[in-house]
C-alpha cells in the first residue's frame, strides 16, 4: 500500500517540530548505501541523538507509515522505485567512543574501521576484525558482523536499544541480543544506540600490524575499488558461498551492469549505469544456479528494500532465515 502523500507531509511537519535533526521529503537513499543505487524515501529523518529518537518514537508510532533504519548501507539494496515510508538514519550525535579500564563503548553510527583503529592505538585487542567491516557499530550488532574468524558476539557485552514501537529504551545483554551467524534477535523497530565491548590489553604496534595485514589481504582478494555491499550470501554450514558460486561457473557473470566479481565470487559489483534491479536479478540467478547444481539454498546477507520484480523476490524470499 502506498503511503498517503498528505500523511507523509503531516508526519514530516510533526517531526520537524520535535527533533533537532534533519527531516526531508522525497529524498534519494543512494548516498546512504555502498552500492550508491536506489530511489528515494517518502520521508528521510536524520536523528542527531537519543532525544531525537524519543521524538521520532512519539510521532511515528501514531502513524501507519512503514519504517526503515539505514546505517552505512553496507548490507542493503534499495529498489529503483525507492522506499515508500520513513527512512531513519543516525547522525553525528551517534558517532562517539570512550574507554574505561578496557571497557569500550561506542555510538551506533561509529564506523567499525574507525573503532577498530581507535582501540588498537590504545593497546586494546579484540576488535581488529572491525577494520574489515564496512558498516557501523549498530549494523555490526544487528547483523553480528564478522571477518577473519571473529564476530561481534565474541567481544560485545551489551547494547542500549530503543524500541521505537514501544517508545522505550533498555540495556540488552549479549544473551538478550540473540546473536548468531550474521543475525540477531533485534526486531525491525529496535534501534541500537550504543554498544559496549570487553577488550584485553595488547601491544599497540602488534595490533596495528595485524590490521594492516587484514587490509592487505582484502585488497588482494576482494573487490574494494568497485561499488559493492560485501558478501552477498552467508556461508552455508561447513562450506563457502564463494566456492559454490565459483564452482558453478558464475565468476564474471553479468546481468545488465551488475557482475559477479572476478576477484571473489561472493561479491556482486556494479559498473556505471547499473540499476538495483540488475543487482537483484543477478543475486536471484546466482542463487537459482547454485541450488540447481549443488542442492544448496544460499541465504542472502543483503536485504532488498522496496519493490523488485516478482520472480526475483520469489527466488530470494524463498531463502531460509
Q: Please, what are the domains in the chain?
A: 5-93 (3.30.43.10), 95-206 (3.30.465.10), 241-316 (3.90.78.10)
pTM of the model: 0.92
Per-residue 3-state assignment (H helix, E strand, C coil) for the chain: CCCCHHHHHHHHHHHHCCCCCEEEEEEECHHHCCCCCCCEEEEEEEECCHHHHHHHHHHHCCCCCCEEEECCCCCEEECCCCEEEEEEEECHHHCCEEEECCEEEEECCCEHHHHHHHHHHCCEECCHHHHHCCCEHHHHHHHCCEECCEEHHHCEEEEEEEECCCCEEEEEEHHHHCCECCECCCCCCEEEEEEEEECEECCHHHHHHHHHHHHHHHHHHCCCCCCCCCCCECCCCCCCHHHHHHHCCCCCCEECCEEECCCCCCCEEECCCCCHHHHHHHHHHHHHHHHHHHCCCCCECCEEECCCCHHHHHHHCCCCC
Active site residue 142: no
The pLDDT value recorded for residue 318 is: 74
| Residue in 151, 160, 259, 301 annotated catalytic | 301
| Residue in 74, 79, 231, 261 annotated catalytic | 231
Residue 47 has pLDDT above 60, yes or no: yes
Active site residue 301: yes
pLDDT digits (tens, 9 = 90+) for 258-306: 999 999 999 999 999 999 999 999 999 999 999 999 999 999 999 999 9
Residue 3 has pLDDT above 80, yes or no: no
| Residue in 182, 281, 287, 299 annotated catalytic | 182
Active site residue 193: no
Confidence band for 213, pLDDT divided at 50, 70 and 90: very high
pLDDT digits (tens, 9 = 90+) for 121-140: 999 999 999 999 999 999 99
Confidence band for 1, pLDDT divided at 50, 70 and 90: very low
Residue 162 has pLDDT above 60, yes or no: yes
The pLDDT value recorded for residue 321 is: 45
Confidence band for 320, pLDDT divided at 50, 70 and 90: low
Amino acid at each position: 500500500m502506498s503511503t498517503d502523500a498528505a500523511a507523509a507531509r503531516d508526519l514530516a511537519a510533526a517531526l520537524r517540530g520535535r527533533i533537532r535533526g534533519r527531516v526531508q521529503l522525497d529524498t534519494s537513499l543512494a548516498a546512504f548505501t555502498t552500492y550508491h543505487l536506489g530511489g528515494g524515501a517518502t520521508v528521510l529523518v536524520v536523528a542527531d541523538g537519543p532525544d531525537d529518537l524519543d521524538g521520532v518514537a512519539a510521532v511515528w508510532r501514531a502513524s501507519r507509515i512503514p519504517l526503515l533504519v539505514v546505517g552505512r548501507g553496507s548490507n542493503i539494496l534499495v529498489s529503483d522505485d525507492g522506499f515508500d515510508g520513513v527512512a531513519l538514519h543516525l547522525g553525528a550525535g551517534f558517532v562517539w567512543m570512550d574507554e574505561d579500564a578496557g571497557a569500550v563503548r561506542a555510538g551506533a553510527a561509529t564506523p567499525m574501521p574507525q573503532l577498530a583503529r581507535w582501540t588498537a592505538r590504545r593497546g586494546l585487542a579484540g576488535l581488529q576484525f572491525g577494520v574489515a567491516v564496512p558498516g557501523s557499530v549498530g549494523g555490526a550488532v544487528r547483523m553480528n558482523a564478522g571477518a577473519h574468524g571473529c564476530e561481534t558476539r565474541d567481544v560485545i557485552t551489551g547494547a542500549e536499544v530503543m524500541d521505537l514501537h514501544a517508545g522505550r529504551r533498555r540495556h540488552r545483554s549479549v544473551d538478550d541480543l540473540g546473536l548468531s551467524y550474521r543475525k540477531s534477535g533485534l526486531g525491525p523497530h529496535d534501534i541500537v544506540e550504543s554498544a559496549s565491548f570487553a577488550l584485553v590489553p595488547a601491544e599497540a604496534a602488534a595490533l596495528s600490524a595485524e590490521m594492516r595485514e587484514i587490509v592487505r589481504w582484502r585488497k588482494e582478494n576482494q573487490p574494494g575499488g568497485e561499488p559493492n555491499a560485501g558478501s552477498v550470501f552467508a556461508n552455508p554450514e561447513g562450506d563457502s558461498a564463494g566456492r559454490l558460486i565459483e564452482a558453478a561457473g558464475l565468476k564474471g557473470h553479468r546481468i545488465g551492469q551488475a557482475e559477479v566479481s572476478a576477484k571473489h565470487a561472493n561479491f556482486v559489483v556494479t559498473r556505471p549505469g547499473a540499476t538495483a534491479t540488475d543487482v537483484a536479478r543477478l543475486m536471484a540467478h546466482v542463487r537459482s544456479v547454485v541450488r540447481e547444481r549443488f542442492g544448496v539454498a544460499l541465504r542472502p546477507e543483503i536485504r532488498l528494500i522496496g519493490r523488485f520484480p516478482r520472480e526475483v523476490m520469489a527466488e530470494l524470499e524463498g531463502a531460509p532465515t
